[in-house]
Amino acid sequence: SQTIHQWPATLVQPVGSPLSLECTVEGTSNPNLYWYRQAAGRGLQLLFYSVGIGQISSEVPQNLSASRPQDRQFILSSKKLLLSDSGFYLCAHNRQLAEAFFGQGTRLTVV
Amino acid sequence: GQQVMQIPQYQHVQEGEDFTTYCNSSTTLSNIQWYKQRPGGHPVFLIQLVKSGEVKKQKRLTFQFGEAKKNSSLHITATQTTDVGTYFCAAADNTDKLIFGTGTRLQVFP
The model's pLDDT over A15-62, given as tens digits with 9 standing for 90+, comes to: 999 999 999 999 998 999 999 999 888 889 999 999 999 999 998 878
Q: Which residues of B touch A44 (CB under 8 A)?
A: 43, 88, 100, 103
Q: DSSP characters for A15-26?
A: TT--EEEEEEEE
Average pLDDT, whole number, for chain B? Answer: 95
pLDDT at position B100: 92
Give the whole-angstrom CA distance, residue A30 versus residue A98: 13
Contact between B45 and A100 under an 8 Å Cβ cutoff? The reply is yes
- Residue B42 to residue A102, Cβ atoms within 8 A: yes
pLDDT at position B85: 97
In this complex, the residue of B31, B96, B102 whose CB is nearest that of residue A43 is B102
Mean pLDDT (whole number) for A49-78: 93
pLDDT band at B1 (very low <50, low <70, confident <90, very high): low
Contact between A75 and A22 under an 8 Å Cβ cutoff? The reply is yes
At B44, is the secondary structure helix, strand, or coil? strand
Q: Which residues contact B40 (CB under 8 A, 6 or more apart)?
A: none
Please name the residue of chain B whose CA is at the shortest distance from the CA of residue A100: B45
Mean pLDDT (whole number) for B16-40: 95
Q: Which residues of B touch A41 (CB under 8 A)?
A: 105
Q: Which residues of B touch A57 (CB under 8 A)?
A: 97
pLDDT band at B41 (very low <50, low <70, confident <90, very high): very high
Count contacts between A and B (CB, < 8 Å).
50
Q: Kindly tell me if the per-residue pLDDT of A6 is higher than 80.
A: yes
3-class SS string, B59-93: CCEEEEECCCCCEEEEEECCCCHHHCEEEEEEEEC
Q: Kindly tell me if the per-residue pLDDT of A64 is higher than 80.
A: yes
pLDDT at position B38: 96
